[in-house]
Structure 1
């Protein structure tokens, strides 16, 4: 896949995220997509990704800004760096209580591309920073 096509694919994925359009995100993923969850496990498959997105939507309202997309030569890999601005809506298991706390943190996603679709999504952010922000706003 050419670099420009990969750039458009990743932009479409992030635009769908910002539009809270999970179905549009899923349409850009390979059926057997690998999803590496920040400081968590690995899930494989579009349906598991669908369930993950549904859980995220229950707990968080987020928007990505300051997005920079980088594409490797040949277009088979890409990365995006951005700022996540969000609201913690509902308490997630094992995390501090939610009461509408706002947060902002730097994050990134690494992507692999196969046959015009995203075949791997690996997300990274500083969970300790996020916890400190929601705890400070909860005191």
Structure 2
């Protein structure tokens, strides 16, 4: 008898967030399906691991972030989940169309939603308040 779907979801999401906090893009990619749909806040949907890895490389260049106060939620059946967390970050390099970076720090509540398929993350949708982030880094 296999593990319940909810346990699989919790395990994969914990691994995903641990990899994020370790800055380990390769381990994050191991948590994803090949055709993962990555819905970013205020951006386009990126499909596939290659696009996800490109996004992570860009983010690592511009930002240093650690997620804390992570709370995981799961839908009945374990095929969908969510996480609420605090993004603790440093703005390292100016990102196009955003305020100039000079090492500003920020603390931002955020959330992500997930679809789980065959024990992997098939969709990641992340939301945060961009206006709040801009206010924090514009000081």
TM range (shorter): over 0.9
Count of aligned pairs: 136
Deviation at 1:4, TM superposition (A): 1.2
SS in 2 for 1:18: helix
| Unaligned runs of at least 5 residues, structure 1 | none
Aligned to 1:64: 67
**What is the TM-score when the length of structure 2 is the normalising length?**
0.96
The correspondence of residues 1-139 of structure 1 with structure 2, limited to 5 A, is 2-136=5-139
Q: Give the 4+ runs in structure 1 shifted more than 4 A.
A: none
SS in 1 for 2:59: helix
Q: Distance in 2 between matches of 1:125 and 1:134?
A: 14
| Unaligned runs of at least 5 residues, structure 2 | none
**What is the TM-score when the length of structure 1 is the normalising length?**
0.96
Coordinate RMSD, CA, aligned: 0.7
